[in-house]
Structure 1
Amino acid sequence: MNAFEIQGGKPLKGEIIPQGAKNEALQILSAVLLTEEKMTISNIPDIKDVNKLIDLLKALGVTVNRLNKDTYEFQAKDINIAYFQSEEFKQKGGGLRGSIMIVGPLLARFGKAAIPKPGGDKIGRRRLDTHFLGFEKLGAKFVYDPDKHFFNVDATELKGTYILLDEASVTGTANVVMAAVLAKGITTLYNAACEPYLQQLCKMLNRMGAKISGIGSNLLIIEGVEKLGGTEHRMLPDMIEIGSFIGLAAMTGSELTIKNVCFNELGIIPTVFAKLGIKFELRGDDIFIPAQESYEIDTFIDGSILTVSDAPWPGFTPDLLSIVLVTAIQAKGNVLIHQKMFESRLFFVDKLIDMGAQIILCDPHRATVIGLNKQTKLRGIEMTSPDIRAGVSLLIAALSAQGKSVIYNIEQIERGYQDIEERLKALGADIRRIEAIPYH
């Protein structure tokens, strides 16, 4: 098993370029199935989850040409519908949560689709109801086989309608939008997610010939069209990576420049890190973070303890709460982290406590961090990464800690972070990949 061995406690320095956005990629790449014309997509992150989806598209019959490291050309001209019933499809689709995103485009263009129950992070119950309730409203019928964990969906004729989503799910909104763009009539989609990645998808679909209005709001109006054409599209930088690098700079007392961040698309993220006391400057479209010996957490105006919680966009993304939690360990002051969306995402804090962090896990959703103010360094330990975001949080903790740490199950980290070992080494991090058997 691959693991990272880290000698921590060293400040880093230099520039780092964030990868393309993982969560945008899973939507945009699925949308190539909506047209038989060529699609050129750039700034695609070279990570396991995205590469698995590209492999799945190839297996479905999509012609894929890699033009350079981050740019691909796709053409979904000859799709093999029979592939849905193959054992290979069950394995490929079941190993990737993002595979649910191909259902909307396939329903729209071919009237049927199937999908194994998708995989992904072990961070609590992640419902697919929003996707299927939306498809049902458009006229689709689906059957779930609980023995085989398999969904079959039939939609010989999708018709536009009024849909009030049961939750503002980003993937659910994207999937329903992709199904609705080729449906007959007008679809009114209320309680839609409005994340920048969803906006990117809608803008790209409009360039392909779709008619979507209300982009950026929670009310989308989609007028169905007969067919869509090809286009070119460039992904946004990954906001989760950007937030991770801000936290990394603070924890390790490093001077870092995060390049080409598309600052206007980051929403409240910089503000939340500023509330932790982290100083930064915007230089053009780069974020410069000076080396800080200490950083102090704000309180609310009445003096009460700061709470950082997740919420639908433009609220704070749940994917960065793990990073905020680990960053707060070495701050001056206290903060309550409230993870509302996933009930198991805070369960990695026991490893941080073993490293010397002062954290009280109140319940599955809330943790209070009592900042050490860099008076005591964390100590290196052996630990296992439970999911992508917790894995990077543990990596940040290890880079700030005194002594050697070993992180097992780094495949989880590499599902979401491209060439992370090499990019950290370029900043001066002492990190290397080893073959190791977990200590337990």
Structure 2
Amino acid sequence: MNCFEIEGGHRLKGEITPQGAKNEALQVICAVLLTSDTVRINNIPDIVDVNNLIDLLGVMGVVINRINRNTCEFTAADVNLEFLQSVDFKKRASSLRGSIMIMGPLLARFGKAYFPKPGGDKIGRRRLDTHFIGFEKLGATFNFDAEDIFYTVEASAMKGTYMLLDEASVTGTANILMAAVLTPGKTTIYNAACEPYLQQLSKMLISMGAKISGVGSNLLEIEGVSELKGCDHTILPDMIEVGSFIGMAAMTSSEITIKNVGVEQLGIIPMMFQRMGINLQVVGDDIYIPTQEHYEIDTFIDGSIMTIADAPWPGLTPDLLSVFLVVATQAKGSVLIHQKMFESRLFFVDKLIDMGARIILCDPHRATVIGLNKENALRGANLTSPDIRAGVALLIAALSAQGKSTIQNIEQIDRGYQNIDGRLQNLGARIKRI
């Protein structure tokens, strides 16, 4: 097992470029199963979760031409459906939550799909009802083997229909959308997720010949087509990395320029960091964060404590709440962090408290942070990464802390962040992979 050794308390300086968006990559790579033509995808993040998905498609029979670490061509002309019932498939697919999105394309193109209970971060309940209810509305039959924890969907014929999703699930919307593009008739999806990842998936599908309207809204309309062709698609910069680097700069009082961030797709992320008191400047498609000795959390107009909560797009993505929480520990003022979607994502705060942070965990969804205003630095500590986003939050804390920190279980961080130690070393961070 690898770990990070970090000597904190040092300022960083320089430029850093975000990787391709992990969440988009998982969707668009699954979409290659919709056609027998070659699909080329650019700006793929070279991270564990994405590489595992590519490997999974390879053993399913998809021909993969990896042009370089960030560009890949996929040809799904001969998919081995029998492999989907094998022990090897169950083992591979169950370790990667994002691979659940192979079901929509397989159902649309071949009329059947199989999947084990998916893995991923242990951040609370992440139900799959939305996916399967959507498939059933399109005409598929759903079966769940409780003993083997194995999902099966099959359809001899599907037909477009109207559906109102019970929640604006990102992966659920993506799965149903991919199933609908090859389904005869008109499908209307209301309360659809509309994150930039979904917009990118929709644009890719349209370039393949799909007929989709309402892209960027919560009402999608799809006219089914008989087949899709290949395309060339480029993944957006990862907004979660952009937010992580903004928080890292603030916590370490560093001067950093984040290059090619895709400003128009960041939504309210820059504004929310500004409400944390962080000075950032948008220069073209870059974000410049100057050195700040102190930053002060805003309050609401009536003077009450600021609340930062996650919400479906265009609200604040839940993947950044861990970063906002750790950044608040060294701010002036207080903030209530409200993680509405997942009930286990705040359980890493005990590690920050051990480092000297002032945090009250109100319940599984809410934590109040009383900022130290950088008057008392966090202390180095032995830490363990519980999930991808909490892992990066702890990494940010360690970089700002006085003394040496060790972070165990960094395989979690590697699942979502490409060569994070090497890129931070280029900024002057004292971090070693042991």
TM range (shorter): over 0.9
Q: Tell me the equivalent position of 2:186.
A: 186
Q: Distance in 1 between matches of 2:368 and 2:280?
A: 25
Rounded to whole Å, the distance in 2 between the matches of 1:98 and 1:296 is: 37
Equivalences, count: 434
* In structure 2, distance between residues paired with 1:158 and 1:275: 48
Give distance in 2, aligned partners of 1:98 and 1:27. 8
Partner Cα separation in structure 2 for residue 245 and residue 58 of structure 1: 33
Q: How does 1:260-275 map to 2 (within 5 A)?
A: 260-275=260-275
RMSD: 0.5
- In structure 2, what is the Cα distance between the partners aligned to 1:156 and 1:236? 36
- Report the equivalent of 1:437: none
Letter in 1 for 2:212: I
Q: Are 2:214 and 1:214 aligned?
A: yes
* Partner in structure 1 of residue 289 of structure 2: 289
Question: What residue identity is the alignment partner of 1:125?
Answer: R
Q: Which amino acid aligns with 1:140?
A: A
Q: Give CA deviations for 1:284-313 in whole Å, capped at 9, x if unaligned.
A: 100000010000000000000000000000
Deviation at 1:153, TM superposition (A): 1.2
Q: Give distance in 1, aligned partners of 2:100 and 2:91.
A: 13
Q: In structure 1, what is the equivalent of residue 298 of structure 2?
A: 298
Q: Report what 1:59 is aligned to.
A: 59
Residues 214-256 of structure 1, C-alpha deviation per residue, up to 9 Å, x if partnerless? 0000000000000000000000000000000000000000000
In structure 1, list runs of 5 or more residues that go unmatched: 435-440
Q: Does 1:398 align with 2:386?
A: no
Q: Match of 2:64, SS?
A: strand
Q: Counterpart of 1:172?
A: 172
Letter paired with 1:117: K
CA distance in 1, matches of 2:227, 2:74: 17
SS in 1 for 2:241: helix
Alignment of 1:181-330 (within 5 A): 181-330=181-330
2 CA distance for matches of 1:267 and 1:96?
28
SS of match in other structure, 2:202:
helix
SS in 2 for 1:15: strand
State the match for 2:47 in structure 1: 47
Q: Which amino acid aligns with 2:254?
A: S
Partner of 1:134: 134
Deviation at 1:196, TM superposition (A): 0.6
Which secondary structure state, in structure 2, belongs to the residue aligned with residue 321 of structure 1?
helix
Q: Tell me, yes or no, if structure 1 residue 32 matches structure 2 residue 32.
A: yes
CA distance in 2, matches of 1:311, 1:93: 28
1:154 counterpart residue number: 154
The answer for the alignment partner of 1:438 in structure 2 is none
- Structure 1: how far apart are the matches of 2:410 and 2:198? 29
Q: Which residue of 2 aligns with 1:7?
A: 7
Structure 1 residue 283 displacement after superposition? 1.2
Q: Deviations over 1:191-219 (max 9, x none)?
A: 00000110000011011000000000000
Give the counterpart letter for 2:304 in structure 1.
S
Aligned position for 1:331: 331
Shift of 1:429: 0.4
4+ runs of 1 displaced by more than 2 Å?
none
- Consecutive unaligned residues of structure 2, counting only runs of 5 or more, are none
* Alpha-carbon distance in 2 for matches of 1:52, 1:152: 22
Q: Secondary structure at the match of 1:342?
A: coil
CA distance in structure 1 between the aligned counterparts of 2:84 and 2:90, rounded to whole angstroms: 8
**1: CA distance between counterparts of 2:409 and 2:376?**
28
Shift of 1:174: 0.5
Find the aligned partners of 1:418 and 1:425 in 2 and give their Cα distance.
13
Question: 1:164: Cα distance to partner?
Answer: 0.4
**What's the secondary structure of 1:278's corresponding residue?**
coil
Give the partner amino acid of 2:263: F
Deviations 1:109-157 (A, max 9, x none): 0000100100000000001111001001001112111111111110221
Encode CA deviations 1:175-198: one digit per residue, 9 max, x unaligned.
000000000100000000000110
For residues 201 and 99 of structure 1, the distance between their equivalents in structure 2, rounded to whole angstroms, comes to 15
- Distance in 2 (CA, whole Å) between partners of 1:74 and 1:199 is 21
The offset of 1:158, in angstroms, is: 1.6
Q: For residues 73-110 of structure 1, give each alpha carbon's deviation from its aligned partner in whole angstroms, at most 9, with x where no partner exists.
A: 11000011111111100101111101100000000000
Offset at residue 50 of structure 1 (A): 0.3
Partner of 2:3, secondary structure, is: strand
Q: Normalised by the size of structure 1, how large is the TM-score?
A: 0.98
Structure 2 Cα separation of the partners of residues 118 and 49 of structure 1 = 12
Partners of 1:42 and 1:207 in 2: how far apart?
15
Identity of aligned residues (%): 72
- 1:373 alignment partner in structure 2: 373
Structure 1 window deviating more from structure 2 (155-164 vs 266-275): it is 155-164
- What does residue 416 of structure 1 align with? 416
- 2:117 aligns to what? 117
- TM-score normalised over the length of structure 2: 1.00
Amino acid at match of 2:40: T
Cα shift at 1:69:
2.0
Cα separation, 2, equivalents of 1:382 and 1:157? 56
SS in 1 for 2:15: strand
Distance in 2 (CA, whole Å) between partners of 1:397 and 1:338 is 20
Q: Which amino acid aligns with 2:388?
A: I
- Give the letter for the 2:310 counterpart: D
Residue 21 of structure 1 corresponds to which residue in structure 2? 21
Q: Provide the rounded CA distance (Å) in 1 between the counterparts of 2:147 and 2:246.
A: 45
2:256 maps to a residue whose letter is L
The equivalent residue for 1:353 is 353
Deviations for 1:306-354, whole angstroms, at most 9, x for unmatched residues?
0000000000000000000000110000000000000000000000000
State how far apart, in whole Å, the 2-side matches of 1:139 and 1:239 are.
Answer: 36
